[in-house]
């Protein structure tokens, strides 16, 4: 039996974020990670059929991801992400027709608002209604109701159903990995303000120019250099109190004693780790409301380029986004590597790989007006991609400080005021450490 001071369980983005906050303060700690690699669901791997290193799921970062960017800046990999010169979203329509939503005349939120007037993807009347809605959001006093869903909130503020289907739904499903009918209005409103109505530096989109594991690859070495320990392929089986200490039992039947524990795991894992009497506390009521929304990513290689654009939204397609990985990551070509991503993919998740590939081929032919043959393909289905942050669960999202003295919880699903994103995960780890330090000052 070994003794240490602080344990972090889980080395995804939340765990890495919590660890970095401790490293900055010179506080040694031990991290337990069940997998033999770090990053949680944020990882990459080499696929021998495609001949490329690909991501578990494609990420497009909002430029407002302050905490996530601070994390990779600390790791020295901020130069591996690239921001678009001008914030814009491409909407691909049938017959290779593309419409841009971009800043017009000005930079920042003023330019975004002007850009809506020239966004002819929508009828002019709809553009005016969307512009009015953004002006409504720009009022600092505007807040959504936590008991109303985003769809009803949009209807209440005179957004037509056709505008919701064509414009608001693509935004919502991409950011929240959820349907408008399930997204809490207050979370929807605050997220739109952060994503679209901040200053020019924070507007727009950023993407990785390397496989995403490369953004965090330096973490183990930095942790070790600062006196920390990382135990990979070490699954925590049970956590309980042994006197004033937490006893952690691992898959190898080793037992460790710690004064403080930060859990950075998915909520369904807590049911297995924690004693039943702890789980009966009202704090853990959220465990009765846990559901997940899947994401399906389809990678293909092609002999010819589908589009020279780096990414864009696919209108009237089963897939939501296309990412030109060859252009984004400056890969040698041919072949060309593309990723097609579908959020909230409950309908696609049960489909066979052959069905999904055929679907993508048909959509490419329709949208880009060209017959493109796929050389190889890889389908990645993540059934547990993000927590279903519906109205009920959002009300129960736990704070990072639990009622168990010395036990703290982090994860994109905890109370951060953000959707279940990388930014939320990074923020949660930081908040858990701050709560722990406040707790130490009180005792």
Helix 66-74 with 13-24: angle, nearest 10 deg: 60
pLDDT confidence of residue 30? 97
pLDDT at residue 205, rounded to an integer: 82
Mean pLDDT in consecutive groups of 10 residues from the start of the chain, 443 residues: 79 98 96 97 96 93 90 97 79 86 57 75 91 85 87 95 93 94 95 76 80 98 97 97 94 95 96 96 96 97 94 92 96 96 96 95 92 93 95 97 98 97 98 95 73
Output the pTM of the full model.
0.94
Looking at residue 177, its pLDDT comes to: 96
Res 301: pLDDT: 97
C-beta separation of 270 from 287 below 8 A: yes
Evaluate the CA torsion angle 363, 369, 371, 377 in order and state its sign.
negative
Structure tokens at 25: 């303060």
Instruction: Provide the pairing of β-strand 30-32 with 88-93.
Output: unpaired
What pLDDT does 1 receive? 41
Question: Which value, in Å, is the radius of gyration of the alpha carbons in the chain?
Answer: 22
At residue 255, the 3 state secondary structure works out as strand
Query: Residue 302: what pLDDT?
Result: 96
**What pLDDT, on a 0 to 100 scale, did the predictor assign at position 215?**
98
Cβ pair 111, 198 in contact under 8 A: no
């Amino acid at each position: 039996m070994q003794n240490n001071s602080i344990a972090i369980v889980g080395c995804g983005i939340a765990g890495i974020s919590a660890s970095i906050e401790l490293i900055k303060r010179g506080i040694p700690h031990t991290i337990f990670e069940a997998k033999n690699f770090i990053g949680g669901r944020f990882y990459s791997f080499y696929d021998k059929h495609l001949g490329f290193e690909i991501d578990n799921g494609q990420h497009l970062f909002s430029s407002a991801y302050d905490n996530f960017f601070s994390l990779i800046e600390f790791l020295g990999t901020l130069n591996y992400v690239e921001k678009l010169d001008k914030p814009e979203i491409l909407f691909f329509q049938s017959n290779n027709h593309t419409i841009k939503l971009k800043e017009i005349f000005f930079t920042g939120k003023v330019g975004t608002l002007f850009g809506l007037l020239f966004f002819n993807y929508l009828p002019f009347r709809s553009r005016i209604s969307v512009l009015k809605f953004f002006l409504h959001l720009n009022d600092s006093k505007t807040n959504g109701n936590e008991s109303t869903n985003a769809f009803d909130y949009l209807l209440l503020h005179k957004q037509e159903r056709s505008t919701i289907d064509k414009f608001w739904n693509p935004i919502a499903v991409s950011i929240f990995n959820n349907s408008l009918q399930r997204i809490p209005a207050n979370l929807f409103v605050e997220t739109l303000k952060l994503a679209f109505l901040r200053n020019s530096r924070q507007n727009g989109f950023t993407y990785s120019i390397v496989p995403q594991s490369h953004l965090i690859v330096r973490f183990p070495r930095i942790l070790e250099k600062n006196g920390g320990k990382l135990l990979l392929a070490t699954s925590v089986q049970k956590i309980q109190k042994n006197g004033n200490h937490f006893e952690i039992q691992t898959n190898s039947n080793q037992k460790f004693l710690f004064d403080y524990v930060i859990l950075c795991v998915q909520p369904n894992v807590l049911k297995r780790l924690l004693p039943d009497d702890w789980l009966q506390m009202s704090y853990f009521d959220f465990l009765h409301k846990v559901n997940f929304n899947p994401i399906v990513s389809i990678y293909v290689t092609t002999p010819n380029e589908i589009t020279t654009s780096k990414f864009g939204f696919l209108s009237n397609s089963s897939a939501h986004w296309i990412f030109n990985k060859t252009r984004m990551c400056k890969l040698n070509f041919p072949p060309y590597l593309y990723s097609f991503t579908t959020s909230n993919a409950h309908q696609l998740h049960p489909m066979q790989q052959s069905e999904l590939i055929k679907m993508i081929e048909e959509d490419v032919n329709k949208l880009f007006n060209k017959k493109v043959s796929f050389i190889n393909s890889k389908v990645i289905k993540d059934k547990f991609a993000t927590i279903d942050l519906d109205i009920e669960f959002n009300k129960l999202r736990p704070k990072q400080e639990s009622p168990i003295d010395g036990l703290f919880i982090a994860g994109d699903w905890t109370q951060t005021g953000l959707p279940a994103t990388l930014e939320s995960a990074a923020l949660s780890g930081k908040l858990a450490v701050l709560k722990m330090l406040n707790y130490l000052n009180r005792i």
